[in-house]
Every structure is written in C-alpha cells, then in structure tokens.
Structure 1
Amino acid sequence: MQMADLDDVTLHYRLDGPEDGPVVVFANSLGTDLRLWDALVPHLPPSLRLLRYDKRGHGLSSCPAGPYAMGALVRDAERLLDHLGLSEVVFVGLSIGGMIAQGLAVKRLDLVRGMVLSNTAAKIGQPAMWNERIAAVHEGGIEAVADATMERWFSREFRATPELLAWRNMLTRQPVEGYLGCMAAISGTDFYTPTSGLRLPTLGIAGSEDGSTPPDLVRETVDLVPGSQFHLIRRAGHLPCVEKPTDYGATLTAFLEAIGHL
C-alpha cells in the first residue's frame, strides 16, 4: 500500500505500469474507492503508467473533518501529482472525479494535457437535492440512501447480478464523514464558466442508463470545450467502467492514441 502525506490529508494511491510510460490518472466517484477501475485495467495498453487514488474521506485515505470544498479535492489531486513528480497526464475523472478533473485543468494546465469527463458534469444536481441527501445520511447513515443510489448507478441488468452487493457494500462502508464532506463539495460546485475556458483534448463518456448524470448532461458539459469528443456506452449506468470495461477500455485507448498519449 502506498500513502502520500500531504500535510492535512494522507492519500492512499496505487501506481502500475512502466516508470517511463505515459501517465493516466483515475479519480473515483462518490462512495467508491480506487477498486472502481480494477475491471478496466486489463483492457488498457500495458505501456501506460496508471495512477489510482482514494480521495479524502474515502477508501484507505484519511478522513479530515468536513464539509469539504471542491477546491480542497482539486488541491489534493494537485499535491499528489506534485508529490509523485508527475505532469503532462491524462486525467480520467468519473462523477465527482470528473469535477476534480475540470478544476485541476483550470488551475494547473501544466499538469494535465488531456481529460476524460466520465459520467459527470460542470454542475451536478441542485443544492436542495444534496441537502436532502445529506440530511438522510445524517439521520440514517449511508445505508439510508444505498438502495436508491444503486438504482441510479447501475442498469437493471447489472442490478440482477450478485456483484451488485459488492458495490453496495463498498458504498455503505465508506466513512460517513467523508461521504458527507464530498456531497457538500458537489453541492457547492458550478464549473460551467471555468470549464468553458478550457482548451485541451477532452473526451466525454456517458452511460445510456445513468440515473445520476444522464447522457445529455454529460454532453452539455463536454460541449463547453471546443473540439471535444463524446462517446455513449449503451446498456451501462453511472459506472460504465464496471459494467462495460471492454467498451470503456477501447474508448479510452482510442482517445489516448488520437492525442498521442501512448
């Protein structure tokens, strides 16, 4: 296990692939840890250097007192890359991870040469919606929102498989303080204006059955960046890297080839 002490937070991360390989960074969704990408990794070229990490309050990373601001999550990613001496990365962010990608690209374009905005948006939901969910978790823990979250996350087909329980368990076993902190960060974020000023290779990925960030919402955000690409993965929900890792890997690999990052 690899841990990075970044003063106010300690992040758990994993690096795979050759030390001189082009770097791809993966940032997870709310309520998941770096295992989110496990099924995807075998479908990516072995020449890549892959960095996965648990954001603050998730997985094996430390859990500072919340609520969190999106700026803190962006700064965590920035400091982790600086700590590891990595730059010119392609940053793949899913859901809240995609918000981190946008914020990092705006703040430190020297670190990011391309981004993949997966099942995410410049603004996700409204504060009133997040306040309701935060109140529900305060009252009943993550368990109180788990079933509804599974319905938004996964297609009907996937929800009928035994594997669903593993993802439900991953969700409910996250630190409550970290989950609440990150919900507050999403609630307070609107990146429409800063993201519209970005000029870098960008790929949007959406799942046709995504109940959290529907395809039209993903496309609307990706369209803010001139020259961006958009890809829809059918019969997949909010976590297409879990449901359709082969399709996801082929889509990501094609993008990396197109921008010369292989």
Structure 2
Amino acid sequence: MARFSFLTTTDGARIAYRLDGRDDNPTIVLSNSIGTTLRMWDGQISALTQHFRVLRYDARGHGASSVPAGPYPLARLGQDVLELMDALDLARAHFLGLSLGGIVGQWLGVHAPDRIDRLVLSNTAPWLGPAARWDAPIAAVLQADDMIDTAETFLRNWFPAHMLEAADPVVDAFRAMLTTTNRHGLAGSWGAVQEADMRESLAGIARPTLVIAGEHDTVTAASDSVQMAKTIAGARLLMLPAVHLSNIEFPERFNDEVVRFLRAPS
C-alpha cells in the first residue's frame, strides 16, 4: 500500500490520508467506522476509482493519525474533513461514511452543505441513546489491560455468526485493526458518539442522500435508517441483509448501488 500523506489540523492533530484514482475525476471522501482504519474501504477502491478520485483518511485517534486528548467533539471530526478538503483544494466532494463516519456525514450535511455534493450514510444513526450509556464503556476501555476484550465485543456486533465461526481472514483483519487501535483514540471517538444527537437537524439536509442499512444491524438499527430516509427530503433507502459492515459483507451490491447513486442524473 502506498505511503500516507499527512495534514496537521488547526488544533495540532496529524491526520493520515491517501488519494486513489485520476485527478480529473470528481472526488469522494470515505470516512471510517470507529475502531478501524482507512483499510476498511479496500474492497471499494477498485469500483470507485473507475469513476472517482477517492480520498480516504484515518480519523483522529485511529491508524496512522495522531491521538490527541479526548473527548473529540463531533464538530471537530467534521472540521477535520473540511480542513482536508481545503488542503487539497476541494471546493466540493461526495461523502460516504459508515457508522461514526456516517454521523460525521450527517454533521457535514447539516453544517457544511455547500461542501458536499452527494451524501451516503451507511449503517449509522442520528442518536445512539442517552449520553450516560457511554460512560461505562469509555471507562472500561481506558482501564483495561489491552484491547482484546473490546475487539471481540466489536466483532460480535459487526459480523454474522458464520463469519466469526469460520475464522474468516476478513474478521482477522478487523481484529488486528481493533487490537492495535489506541484506547485513548477509541474513547475520544466515543465522546463524539456520546454527544451526537442529529434527530432534530436531519430535516435540514438538502443534499441528495442515500441511506444504507443492515437488516441485522444491532449497533445502528435498521429502523433508525428507515426513519433517517423518511426525514431527509428525497433520500433513498437501501436495505441489505447485513449486520454492521455492509460494505464488507456485500461489497459488490454495496459498490454497485453507491456508484449508481453518485452517477445518477441530477
């Protein structure tokens, strides 16, 4: 894999990113789930680069990016995307985010609509419960000896039983991402989830939007996606028979539907 490039944000964080595809194609920004790196999108790159230049980045606290002190405000995660776009002279771009990346996408759709062309919100939700519910998991991950138990909990929430039981190499790759994630980065990102409540704001998203849901998702319930698609004017809903990582379980369908949506006539 090619070397990363790096951006230093206005608050001093170092964000790792990479670009794939032709410079003269429109750009799509991909934003990853908590506990993963930009490698979670490897299965999308071949399909997307046929039509787009792809900008991937490791969210602060993850992968090759730095780990500032948390918690990370949701607005700060959104600003990281805007500063990346500014540094690359991108006035506008498509945006695809999954889980926490999808929460960032919601924030961008509300607060920076002039920078977003089309928006794909995958396996995400505008609100994931009262803030207090996150206090215990944040404390637990910070106090644990390692990330092993946290990783196994995530994997059970992300993949169907048949993949977990088969010692699937894909699951192993995500286990490696999780166990090498800095606990402070994970806890800081949970801070953004803890504060996020976009339920009242979603109706303000005016960009063309595709909502992708996992029928068996226990992290961000399919019912949340259905409601999001109803709330965002003109939004389309794609329901896949997936758990939480729809792009991993059903990459061909995921890729085809995303490309079709992004290339559809206005």
Match of 2:7 in 1: 4
2:253 paired residue among 235, 238, 247: 247
Match of 1:75 in 2: 79
Matches for 1:40-189 after TM superposition, within 5 Å: 40-44=44-48, 46-140=50-144, 141-161=146-166, 162-163=168-169, 164-189=171-196
Asked whether the equivalents of residues 22 and 48 of structure 1 are also in contact (C-alpha less than 8 Å), the reply is: yes
Match of 2:35 in 1: 31
* Greater displacement, 112-121 / 131-140: 131-140
* Greater displacement, 208-217 / 122-131: 122-131
Shift of 1:217: 1.3
Shift of 1:128: 2.8
Aligned CA distance change for structure 1 residues 259 and 87 (closer, same or farther; 3 Å) = farther
- Percentage of pairs with the same residue: 36
Matches for 1:228-243 after TM superposition, within 5 Å: 228-234=235-241, 236-243=242-249
Matching of residue 219 in structure 1 with residue 213 in structure 2: no
- 1: CA distance, partners of 2:9 / 2:132: 33
- 1: CA distance, partners of 2:35 / 2:102: 14
- 2: CA distance, partners of 1:120 / 1:35: 19
Asked whether the equivalents of residues 73 and 100 of structure 1 are also in contact (C-alpha less than 8 Å), the reply is: yes
Over the aligned positions, Cα root-mean-square deviation in angstroms equals 1.4
- 1: CA distance, partners of 2:88 / 2:182: 26
Task: Describe the superposition over 1:164-207 as per-residue Cα deviations: whole angstroms up to 9, x where unpaired.
Answer: 12211211211111100000110111011222111110000111
Q: Which amino acid aligns with 1:89?
A: A
Shift of 1:126: 2.8
Q: Which 4+ runs in 1 deviate beyond 6 A?
A: none
- 2: CA distance, partners of 1:52 / 1:222: 25
1:197 paired residue among 195, 204, 207: 204
Asked whether the equivalents of residues 121 and 217 of structure 1 are also in contact (C-alpha less than 8 Å), the reply is: yes
Asked whether the equivalents of residues 154 and 209 of structure 1 are also in contact (C-alpha less than 8 Å), the reply is: no
Asked whether the equivalents of residues 201 and 259 of structure 1 are also in contact (C-alpha less than 8 Å), the reply is: no
Asked whether the equivalents of residues 214 and 221 of structure 2 are also in contact (C-alpha less than 8 Å), the reply is: yes
Q: Which amino acid aligns with 2:30?
A: F
SS of 1:57 mapped into structure 2 = coil
Asked whether the equivalents of residues 136 and 144 of structure 1 are also in contact (C-alpha less than 8 Å), the reply is: no
Asked whether the equivalents of residues 155 and 210 of structure 1 are also in contact (C-alpha less than 8 Å), the reply is: no
- 1: CA distance, partners of 2:142 / 2:48: 39
Aligned CA distance change for structure 1 residues 189 and 24 (closer, same or farther; 3 Å) = same
- 2: CA distance, partners of 1:106 / 1:90: 14
- 2: CA distance, partners of 1:121 / 1:87: 27
Q: Which amino acid aligns with 2:259?
A: T
Aligned CA distance change for structure 1 residues 45 and 56 (closer, same or farther; 3 Å) = closer
Q: Which amino acid aligns with 2:131?
A: P
Gapped regions of structure 1 (runs ≥ 5): none
Task: Describe the superposition over 1:136-172 as per-residue Cα deviations: whole angstroms up to 9, x where unpaired.
Answer: 1122143232222111111122223332122112112
Shift of 1:129: 2.4
Q: Which amino acid aligns with 1:136?
A: A
